[in-house]
Amino acid sequence: MAALASAAVAFSISAASAAIELHNTITGEPLSLDDAPPEGKDVPAFKEFIETGRNPYLNEPNCLAKGQQLYLGACSGCHGHVAEGKIGPGLNDDYWTYPDNNTDKGMFETVFGGASGQMGPMYQVVNVDEILMVMAWVRHMYKDKVEDAAWLDDAQKAKFQPYDGKDAPKPDPANTPAECKIE
């Protein structure tokens, strides 16, 4: 228990303004961001996530290409090219082994801290900001009913288009911001 308590303290010091607390998907133990390399922690999108528990990249189509590239490098070997499932379960439907994965916070916890078996912690492979970009691409590939997409608010649900199987669009200067960057 002492180790658990000190991990929780370390977390609250390293992210003093954090409004969410992260826990391991399987054990429920606190996750410490201090375990991860520093890259990505100062990026505005990650700071917003750690305050709100919501993934700002869901609203940034110009970041999808980066998310896809990261997904193909770090996840598709186990979860399939379009998240249809392979060694690991499908991530493109409404069934979750761990139901919290239907929220941004829950999926971040699984990717950061791992689950069981082959699903190890991914924070050495993708930094904390990149995890959010990968998650936005995974959500983009969702093929089931929009009502069950708990990670979308009503406005996002109204705009949601089921995945068309295509690669991510190239960043489009007509969309703001014109590159994958959140201020």
Q: How many Cα atoms sit within 13 Å of 166 on the Cβ side?
A: 6
Does 10 interact with ligand HEC (rule: CB under 6 A)?
no
Is residue 20 a contact point for ligand HEC (CB under 6 A)? no
Q: Does 168 bind ligand HEC (CB under 6 A)?
A: no
Q: Is residue 76 packed enough to be buried (19+ CB in 10 Å), middle (13-18) or exposed (0-12)?
A: middle
For residue 122, the one-letter residue type is M
| Helix, strand or coil, per DSSP, at residue 31 | coil
Q: Shortest gap between Cβ of 32 and ligand HEC (angstroms)?
A: 19
Q: Which of 45, 91, 133, 141 binds ligand HEC (CB under 6 A)?
A: 91
Candidate residues 87, 145, 169, 172; the one interacting with ligand HEC per rule CB under 6 A: 87
Alpha-helix residue ranges (DSSP H) falling in 18-140:
44-52, 64-74, 76-79, 104-113, 128-140
Q: Does 111 bind ligand HEC (CB under 6 A)?
A: yes
Please, are residues 182 and 60 in contact by the beta-carbon 8 Å criterion?
Answer: yes
Name which of 27 and 59 has its Cβ closer to ligand HEC.
27
Site residues (vs ligand HEC, CB under 6 A): 74-75, 77-79, 87-89, 91, 96-98, 101, 107, 110-111, 115-119, 122, 126, 134, 138
